[in-house]
Structure 1
Amino acid sequence: MDVSAVDLFCGAGGLTNGLEAAGIPVEAGFDVDEDCEYAYESNNHAKFVPADLAEVARRDPAEIGDYLDEDADVTLIAGCAPCQPFSPLNHGSDSTEHAMYGMLSVFGEIVKHVQPDFVVMENVYEVRDDPVYHEFVRQLQELGYNVNRDKDKRVYCPDFDIPQKRRRWVALASKQGTLDLGEPICTDPTQYKSVEEQIGHLPPLEAGETHPDDWLHTARSLDDINVKRVSQSKPGGTWRDWDEELRLECHTKESGSTYDSVYGRMRPEDPAPTITTQFYNLGSGRFGHYDQSQNRAISLREGALIQTFPADYEFAESLEDIGISKCGQLIGNAVPPELGRVIGDRVIEFLDGKDRQEAITDY
């Protein structure tokens, strides 16, 4: 059965890469950020379309359907609308005030006018509490889609062999019954894929060094005091491991004393913390390399591998073309390709009739 898909808010192509790995052809990815084009087209078989989807939705949302193969038996629209309005990193700000708050409604408007056979919506775990998300689901149901139950939307990435403690919310909609992600791949936390398993093979680096054979394997430089801090940090430890003179002023205040993970090292035997857009910054979380002989934050390549991008995934022609900050943003904002592959595999199994479920009316 031939499937044809498009990817909305595609970014660097993580979701597209996973769907293609599962055997689902993706025709095009749409994103307003043109810096995504090189990564998207260099690693995937889909076309990158620079587009403000809010403007497309105002003009003619049905035009997204023109990119789908008209001869395909089944069509699919996938996407991760910008997560920032709903993210816990938004620090309790009113989500409705965020400039990108309306993008999930834009997603819904496109689905309404194209009406593919399947809809895949991936987002941060916190989106489940927002009215715009509930309106999105209500609209899907009014259009005749069956949406997976809330208990089946909760995704803890280590359960699916993804080596980071990332929690996501995945809504799957179908007009042919109810689709879900099925049983976790790994149910024993002691068997979760670890950060050491994922990146331990890479050559060691010093802070500020770039590996000559892979410019993405580059670690941000550190000033002297941060080198001292990370050199005294233990895997899984806290700032309390440091000498008194190295501690930050905020650590002496009650409000800052609980921020244990900042400047911390990962534990080699555990999954990594959630990869954010600032993972290359030592002070942005527990992003210190677990190896105590490497006094640095993880490299761009290490972050990409923890996100499950293929080892040869290219994000730009050179670091000078894009810069560390932008590259970190592309990596941290991406849907882990392995999660995309799990979703794609389930769609294929559903179409093959191996796991077709009855329609569910509640969500």
Structure 2
Amino acid sequence: MGGNITNSNYRNSRARKPLVKAIDLFCGVGGLTRGLEKAGIKVGLGVDIDPACEYPYEENNAAAFLQKSVADLTADDLADSVRGASYTLLAGCAPCQPFSTYQQKLGPSDERWNLLSHFGRLVEELRPDLVTMENVPNLARQDVFEKFVARLEKLGFHVSFEVVNCVDFGVPQHRNRLVLLASRLGPVALKRPRAKAKTVRQAIGELPKLKAGEFSLADPLHQAAELSPLNLKRIKASVPGGSWKDWDDELIADCHKRSTGKTYPSVYGRMEWDAPAPTMTTQYFGFGNGRFGHPEQNRAISLREGAILQSFPKSYRFVPPGAPIYCKTIGRLIGNAVPVKLGEGIGKSLIAHLEEHAGSRRNAA
């Protein structure tokens, strides 16, 4: 095929450090790309169907952005982005909503269900040296994932996958994710850094104080959603690590007083200063959407604080200067992102794998 990149340019790798080039499918705003780049992998192209991703992706990363559905991609669309590499990597995180425990009603009828199959098709067409994928843990129990793994193995890849907690990679957030690594060179595995868990205080403790509905003039993304008078009373009655069960009865919503509502304690809660944050969702900026209350201030965490808890740098730009900031859009982009620190851990694992196996490949050449 015209886009096949099997014959990587690795013969001169004795004289220089191997150049690893990657393509990031379903790239979003660039969390995985930024992490891979920090690990020493050059990302040439990010692909996503969402036009809102283009500015943050290209503004903060060296890679180009292509707005296109992965279902419509071919190897010819991608090959130039990794041409001349010593080793090539196809990476990505297919939309997780169809497999998320938060979206139990979704299934094979959802059009996003088969995007992983298109990922496998592109691996087959492009023939990269390495593949990585990140998604929700529930994906590992789906038939579409089993077929994806079998397809990689049939193509000659060594495949490993496991569920990890992002806090083990320096992300200040409990976030369980399924990570797959695959290599043509030999067995490959994810390596965990020896890092102490980072806390909410360490991540966002020094940011300027805000009231509900306010934003920082120095950083407009550091803005907190407004609270109704009732929710302001509720957050004042909330304690770090607690929930609505700590409130007086008149503050508790009717739905939580019913037997069915009592099984949902993980809403209307404050974070704890000296522990990692809970999982950032696409609605983390809303106090009633989870344990997203600020540990001390009477508000939900800001858009910027959520980005930092996803391990994005504090300077990461999500909208052009002066442009309007739409909380639902930015919250969705940040909540859906691969945490940068997890991406860096994936990249470092692949670099270590290449260092281990590069000699055998050069000798085979």
TM-score using structure 2 length: 0.91
2:289 — aligned with what?
Answer: 284
Determine which of 93, 112, 115 is the counterpart of 1:80: 93
Q: State the SS of the aligned residue for 1:95.
A: coil
Separation of aligned partners in 1, 2:184 and 2:265: 46
Q: CA deviation at 1:322?
A: 4.3
Q: Which amino acid aligns with 2:284?
A: F
Name the structure 2 match of 1:361.
Answer: none
Give the secondary structure class of the aligned counterpart of 1:226. Answer: helix
Pairing of 1:126-275 with structure 2 (within 5 A): 126-148=138-160, 150=161, 153-186=162-195, 191-275=196-280
Q: Report the 3-state secondary structure (helix = DSSP H, G, I; strand = E; otherwise coil) of the residue aligned with 1:139.
A: helix
Report if the CA contact (8 A) 2:58-2:64 is conserved: yes
- Residues 343-354 of structure 1: pairs in structure 2 closer than 5 A: 343-353=346-356
Distance 1:226-1:320 versus aligned 2 partners, 3 A rule: farther
* 1:301 alignment counterpart: 304
The answer to whether the aligner puts 1:44 opposite 2:49 as a matched pair is: no
Aligned mates of 1:356, 1:249 — CA distance in 2: 66
1:48 CA displacement: 0.5
CA deviation vs aligned residue, 1:34-68 (integer Å, no higher than 9, x gap): 11000000000000111111122xxxx22243233
Listed one character per residue, the Cα deviations across residues 248-303 of structure 1 (whole Å, up to 9, x for unaligned) are 00111111012112110011111100001000011110000011xx1110000000
What's 2:51 paired with? Answer: 34
Unpaired runs of 5+ residues, structure 2, are 1-17, 361-365
Query: CA–CA distance in 1 between the matches of 2:29 and 2:47?
Result: 10
What CA distance in whole angstroms lies between the structure 2 residues aligned with 1:328 and 1:208?
16
* 2:127 matched residue in structure 1: 115
- Cα deviation, 1:95-114, whole Å, max 9, x if unaligned, reads 21223111111111111100
1:122 is paired with a residue of what secondary structure? Answer: strand
Aligned partners of 1:7 and 1:79 also within 8 Å? yes
Structure 1 residues 239-248 or 199-208, which shifts more?
239-248
**Residues 1:55 and 2:72 aligned together:** yes
Structure 1 SS opposite 2:65: strand
Q: Partner amino acid for 2:316?
A: Y
In the TM superposition, residue 355 of structure 1 has moved relative to its aligned partner by: 11
Opposite residue 36 of structure 1, the aligned amino acid is C
Contact 2:221/2:325 (<8 A) preserved: no
Give me the TM-score of the superposition, normalised by structure 1.
0.91
Deviation of the 1:94 alpha carbon: 4.1
DSSP-derived class of the 1:288 partner: coil
1:329 is aligned to 2:323: no
3-state SS in 1 of match to 2:22: strand
The code of the aligned residue for 1:340 comes to G
- The alpha-carbon deviation at position 318 of structure 1 amounts to 4.7
CA deviation digits over 1:323-363, x for unaligned, max 9?
Answer: 11100011000000111111111111122228999xxxxxx
Q: Secondary structure at the match of 2:261?
A: coil
Shift of residue 320, structure 1, vs aligned partner: 4.6
Asked if the contact 1:300–1:328 (Cα under 8 Å) also holds between the matched residues in 2, the reply is: yes
Q: Hey, which bits of structure 1, 4+ residues long, moved more than 3 A?
A: 318-322, 354-357
Give the secondary structure class of the aligned counterpart of 2:324. helix
Q: Provide closer, same or farther for how the CA distance between residues 218 and 353 of structure 1 changes in structure 2, counting only shifts above 3 A.
A: same
Give distance in 2, aligned partners of 1:44 and 1:107: 23
Partner residue of 2:13? none
- Asked if the contact 1:217–1:301 (Cα under 8 Å) also holds between the matched residues in 2, the reply is yes
SS of residue paired to 1:7: strand
Contact 1:177/1:356, CA 8 A, preserved across alignment: no
Amino acid at match of 1:249: D
Aligned-pair identity in percent equals: 47
Q: In 2, Cα distance between the equivalents of 1:319 and 1:248?
A: 38
Task: Give me the whole-angstrom Cα distance separating, in 2, the residues matched to 1:300 and 1:355.
Answer: 42
**For the Cα contact (< 8 Å) 1:43–1:313, is it kept in 2?**
yes
Give the deviation of 1:244 after TM superposition.
Answer: 1.4
CA distance in structure 1 between the aligned counterparts of 2:28 and 2:131, rounded to whole angstroms: 18
2:41 pairs, out of 17, 24, 35, with 24
Change (3 A) 1:210 1:21: same
Among candidates 113, 123, 132, match of residue 101 of structure 1: 113
Letter in 2 for 1:289: H
